Amino acid sequence: MRTLIIIWLLSLSAIYSFGQRTADSIPAPKKQFAQAAVQIVISELLPWSYNRFIRKAEFAKVNFKSIGNNLKPSSWEWDDNSFKTNQLAHPYHGNLFYSSLRSNGYNFWQSASAAFAGSLLWEIAGETHLPAPNDFINTGLGGVALGEMSYRVSRHIVNNRVTGPRRQLQEILALLVNPMNGLTKLTRGEWGKVHGVADTSGGVTADLNVGVRRFGIQTSDQRTRGHNELYLRVKLNYGKKYHPSQAPFESFLAQIEAGSGDSTYLNNVQVIGALKTWKMREEGSHSHFYSVTMNYNYIKVGAFQYGGQSFTFRLLSQWNKNSRTKISTEIGSGVTVLAAVPDKYLFYGEGRNYDYGPGIHVIANTRINFNEYVDIELNYLGSRFKTINGNKSSYILNTLSADVNAKVLDRFSVAAGVGQYTLNGFYDNLSNVAQIFPFARFSLGYRL
C-alpha cells in the first residue's frame, strides 16, 4: 500500500505541475461554482437512488453509522467488484464529477480535484461498503482522462454560431458524449442558441471502422482459434500531436471498440492525452518532440482483460515529413499507477478475477504513410507489474500489433491487422502462467 500511495502522489504532482503552469487552450464560460456543486450532487444521488429504490441493494442503505465507519482511515480495503464495474463504470462516474466543474468554467487541474472529491464522497457516503483505494484511484485518474477527452469532443461537435435542426442534432450528440456539458448549456439557456465563439480546434479527424475480428487463446494445455465476430471501432485524433502544446489534452487519441463477442459488447476504451509537448529540435525535414501523456486503458475481449491508469514520457519524431513517404516514430517509458491484470487462480465476491498492482512500461510505435493513400502502423507496449492486492505474484504483459489501412475512395478505406497479447504470471505459491491471445481483424473504414 505504501508503494501505491507514493506512486499515486507522484502522479498527482506531475499533473499539478503541468496543469498549473498553463492557461486553458479553449474559451471557457464564466465560472459557476454553485451550479457545478449541484451537478456533482446530482451525479452522486442518481446512482445511489437507483441502487437504493430500484435495485433495493443492501449496500445503498446508507446511515450515519456506516458513514462514521467509512470516515475512519483504518476502514479502507480493496473491494471485490467485477472488472467492468471497477475499470469502466467507476472511471465513467469520475468523468461526471470532473465535467461538472469543467463545463462550468474551471480549468483542467481545478476540475481534476472534483473527480477525486466526488470519488471520496461516494466512498464515504454513497454506499455501506468500506472505502476502496482502487475505486478512489480509478474514479479519480480515469475520470480526469475520460472527462477532458469527452468535454473537448462535445465542444467540437457543436457549432455554437449556427441554429436550426442541424444544430439541435449536434447538441443531442454532444449531450450523449458529455452529459454534464449538455446539462450546463440547458441551465444557462445556451442550448441551440448563438453564443460565444466556435471551437476551431485544428487537426481533428474521426474514423469509423466496421468489420470482422477473431480472438484466440494459446496456453500449455489449450489452443483455440476463436470465432469470427462483428465489431465496430471509432478512432479520434484530436489536435496536433507533433506540435508544442502547453495546455493538457490539446492533442489526444481516443478509441472505442465494440463487438458481438460473448463476454461484453464494449471491448476497448483507450485515451492517450498529452499533458505537455515541447520541441526537442528540428533539422530540415526531421522534427523531434518530448511529450508527457496521461493514459486510460480498458480492454475486455474474450478471455483477456486489462485495465490501467498510467503516465508516459515519450520522444516523438517525424522523418521525411516533406516527402511522399512519411515516417513517424514514438518511443517512451512510464509508470502505471494501478493496473488490473487477469489472474486465472482468483475468483471471489462480485466476480473479482484479477490482481491489482502498480508497474512500469515501455512503448515503441512506427507509422509509415505512402502518399496519403496507405498507412502502416506497428505498435508495441511492454509492461511489468507487481501485485499488491490479490495472489502474491508479478506479471509481464506484452502487446504487439500491425495494421495496414488503404484509402480506396475519398472518405472510404479498407483495413487489416494482426497482433497478440502475451501474459506471463509469476506466482509465489502457485504454478506460473504463460498465455497468448492472438487476434486478427478486417474492416471497411469511413472518415467522418
What is the tens place of the pLDDT at every residue in 323-382? 888 999 999 999 999 999 999 999 998 899 999 999 999 999 999 999 889 999 999 999
Q: State residue 14's pLDDT score.
A: 53
Per-residue pLDDT for 27 more than 90?
no
Ranges in the chain annotated CATH 2.40.160.40? 205-447
Mean pLDDT over 147-168 rounds to 91
DSSP of 144-203, one letter per residue?
HHHHHHHHHHHHHH--TT--SHHHHHHHHHHHHH-HHHHHHHHHTT-TTS--S-----SS
State pLDDT tens for residues 209-260.
Answer: 999 999 999 987 878 888 889 999 999 999 999 999 989 999 999 999 999 8
3 state SS of 443: strand
CA distance linking residue 308 with residue 83, whole number of Å? 11
328 backbone dihedrals φ, ψ, rounded to 5°: -130, 140
Q: State residue 70's pLDDT score.
A: 93
CA distance linking residue 136 with residue 368, whole number of Å? 40
Is it true that domain 205-447 has CATH number 3.20.20.140?
A: no
The tally of CA atoms less than 13 A away on the side-chain side of residue 443 is 24
Nearest to 335 by CA among 276, 385, 299, 370: 385
CA distance linking residue 427 with residue 290, whole number of Å? 37
Q: State residue 42's pLDDT score.
A: 94
Cβ contact 282:288 at 8 Å: yes
State pLDDT tens for residues 170-222.
Answer: 999 999 999 999 999 999 888 988 877 666 666 789 999 999 999 999 987 87
Q: State residue 289's pLDDT score.
A: 96
Angle at 291 between CA 288 and CA 294, to 5 degrees: 155
Cβ contact 23:247 at 8 Å: yes
Percent of the chain with pLDDT over 70: 92
Q: State residue 424's pLDDT score.
A: 97
* Furthest C-alpha separation in the chain: 69
State pLDDT tens for residues 257-279.
Answer: 999 866 678 999 999 999 999 99
The angle that helices 90-102 and 33-49 make with each other, rounded to 10 degrees, is: 160
**Is the pLDDT higher at 155 or at 221?**
155
Q: State residue 5's pLDDT score.
A: 55
Q: Whole-structure pTM over 0.75, yes or no?
A: yes
Cβ neighbours for 381, distance < 8 A, ≥ 6 positions apart: 361, 362, 363, 397, 398, 399
Per-residue pLDDT for 26 more than 90?
no
Cβ contact 336:356 at 8 Å: no
Look up cell 515503441; give the residue.
364
Cβ contact 52:127 at 8 Å: no
Range in 112-116, 179-183, 223-227, 435-439 the model is least confident about: 223-227
Average pLDDT, the chain: 90
Q: State residue 265's pLDDT score.
A: 87
Mean pLDDT over 97-106 rounds to 95
Q: State residue 236's pLDDT score.
A: 95
State pLDDT tens for residues 3-16.
Answer: 545 555 555 555 55
DSSP of 271-317, one letter per residue?
EEEEEEEEEEEEETTEEEEEEEEEEEEEEEETTEEEEEEEEEEEEEE
Mean pLDDT over 50-63 rounds to 92
The angle that helices 133-157 and 108-125 make with each other, rounded to 10 degrees, is: 140
**Is the pLDDT higher at 448 or at 290?**
290
Cβ neighbours for 412, distance < 8 A, ≥ 6 positions apart: 444, 445, 446, 447
